[in-house]
Amino acid sequence: MVKFIDFYADWCAPCKVMTPVIEEIRKEYEGKITLEEIDVDANQPLTNQYGVLSIPTYLILKDDQEVGRLVGVNPKARLVEVINQALA
């Protein structure tokens, strides 16, 4: 199982820029991946557990092992590339 985790905050401008991209990915990969959004302000223990220091941070897990990490504003193509590698 591939999981895509989006670490974000409501006040984060780059996170807001990425929101439409994340929604597109959610729709396009429905049933293929699990997409989880983590508010760093509301879930500090999980944020610390994954070593998230900047937001937005995107983790791609395969069988609960991290196989990809992207930080900041990224083009959709880059996110899709990492997701597809995890699905392969």
Of 9, 12, 71, 80, catalytic: 12
Domains identified in the chain, total number: 1
57: nearest Cα among 39, 83, 45, 34: 39
pLDDT tens across 16-73, in order?
999 999 999 999 999 999 999 999 999 999 999 999 999 999 999 999 999 999 999 9
Pairing of strands 57-62, 65-71: antiparallel
Token couple for 63: 């069988």
Neighbours of 64 (CB within 10 A): 7
List, as one string, the DSSP characters of 9-72.
Answer: -TT-HHHHHHHHHHHHHHHHTBTTEEEEEEETTT-HHHHHHTT--SSSEEEEEETTEEEEEEES
40: nearest Cα among 28, 57, 16: 57
> Can you give the CATH number for the domain in which 52 is found?
3.40.30.10
Q: Is 17 a catalytic residue?
A: no
Q: Which domain holds residue 75?
A: 2-87
pLDDT of residue 39: 97
Of 5, 15, 35, 40, catalytic: 15
Q: Is 76 a catalytic residue?
A: no
